[in-house]
Amino acid sequence: MKIMVWNCAPGGMRSVVESYRHDGFITRQKIKLIAAYSGHGFFVRQLVLLRALLLFVATLATSKVELVHVHASMRGSFWRKSIFCVIARAFGVPVVFHLHGSELKVFYESQPAPLKRLIIAQLEAASRVLVLSPSWGRFVKGIAPKAAICVVPNYVDVPVSVPDRSRSVRKILFLGQIGQRKGVFDLIGAFAQVHASSGAVQLVICGNGALDKAKALVDQFGIAEHVDFRGWVGPAERNSLLADADIYVLPSYNEGLPMSVLEAMAWSLPVVTTPVGGLPELIEDGVNGILCEPGNVASLAAAILALIGDKDLRRRMGQAAHQSICEKFSAAAVLPLLDDVYRTVDKECGKRTDAGSARRMT
């Protein structure tokens, strides 16, 4: 059996693991899921972590575990998940350390020298470090030269059919954590300009976070009637919103490889986003999306208005986006990469075990 340590709080990491489960990867690879974090209050989070550690140790002590796959982000997530990695290696079990953090570089560079050394040691001790894009791989290799890095991007389900998007633009969609990092406040400012120019267009904002600040900004711009806050949405409602939208916008300041952009592209939506994290390796500007510099509200508004005013451009970009997902970011494209990582790590572990046995015999 294998163990996968994950984060069950709403967000991209949870979406990734739920996709693994939905597409049969968890069952096929005989994986036991252990949730090390939840989105509840501080006390509950500590109980979840303690329970996860106890279950993790008990499983390692009583079962034949071939591999531990740990999903981690930055800051507290990195350190929490590192505990599981250390324990796994103490039991002689190889570790696949899967990095999802959108601010990994910021996190690393903000640490004092002793903690940087611990981060490097953790990355270099893993049997494999999985990153979401080649640019993240280059960064990790730059700080941890001995790390064994594999690029395994996130993936999404590709709809069997997508709606006809030849109508006039009615809805602009945002999915994600509401706050500065995701650029929501810039989007609201840009939408105020868009609405002043284009009239009856609605902005739909889905997610938790700094709702009060976002709503206050909407009131300040006098566009409250045209902005719909939905809160956090589940998969069924998310798909319904993606099917009903005309343009998807995510003007982030930091990202890894955001699931929401992949999902929007899978639904043949033209995407306006920023060249951060793995997005420049996903979006070819002007072909399958539009890239705007983070914080440039005027450029963001201009990109949205360009799409609103050109039905053929929206159609071409949406089709190109859909094709990109089918070729590189679908289950059929990505899960074989993960299968190969598991197979290679298992083979390397077997060779080390055989070599150790041979040495003991001599």
What is the full per-residue pLDDT of the chain (362 aa) written as tens digits?
Answer: 999 999 877 777 888 999 999 999 999 999 999 999 887 778 888 999 999 999 999 999 999 999 999 999 888 889 999 999 999 999 999 999 999 877 788 899 999 999 999 999 999 999 999 999 998 999 999 999 999 999 999 999 999 888 888 888 899 999 999 999 999 999 999 999 999 998 789 999 999 999 999 999 999 999 999 999 999 998 899 999 999 999 999 999 998 889 999 999 999 999 999 999 889 999 999 999 999 999 999 999 999 999 999 999 999 999 999 999 999 999 999 999 999 999 999 999 876 554 544 444 44
State the pLDDT at residue 353: 54
State the pLDDT at residue 360: 46
Dihedral angle sign, alpha carbons of residues 233, 272, 150, 87: negative
Distance CA 345, CA 127 (A): 7
In the numeric block, the tokens 């700080």 are attached to 143
Q: What size, in residues, is the chain? A: 362
- What are the structural domain ranges in the chain? 2-155+331-361, 171-328
| Beta bridge mates, 32 | 3
Shared fold status for 2-155+331-361 and 171-328: yes
Q: For residue 339, what are its two tokens?
A: 């299968």
- 3-state SS, one letter per residue, for the chain: CEEEEEECCCCHHHHHHHHHHHCCHHHHCCEEEEEEECCCCHHHHHHHHHHHHHHHHHHHHHCCCCEEEEEECCCHHHHHHHHHHHHHHHCCCCEEEEECCCCHHHHHHCCCHHHHHHHHHHHHHCCEEEECCHHHHHHHHHHCCCCCEEECCCCCCCCCCCCCCCCCCCEEEEECCECCCCCHHHHHHHHHHHHHHHCCCEEEEECCECHHHHHHHHHHHCCHHHEEEEECCCHHHHHHHHHHCCEEEECCCCCCCCHHHHHHHHCCCCEEECCCCCHHHHCCECCCEEECCCCCHHHHHHHHHHHHCCHHHHHHHHHHHHHHHHHHCCHHHHHHHHHHHHHHHHHHHHHHHHHHHHHHHC
Cβ burial 212-240 (10 Å sphere, 16+ → b, else e):
eebbebbeebebeebbeeeebbeeeebbe
Q: Does domain 2-155+331-361 have CATH number 3.40.50.2000?
A: yes
Q: Does domain 171-328 have CATH number 3.30.365.10?
A: no
Contact by Cβ (8 Å): 262, 328: no
Alpha carbon distance, N-terminus to C-terminus of the chain: 31
Q: For residue 206, what are its two tokens?
A: 């889905």
State the pLDDT at residue 271: 98
| Beta bridge mates, 345 | none
Distance CA 127, CA 129 (A): 7
What is the dihedral angle through the alpha carbons of 173, 177, 181, 187, rounded to the nearest 10 degrees? 30
**Stated pTM of the model:** 0.83
State the pLDDT at residue 160: 87
| Beta bridge mates, 248 | 173, 271
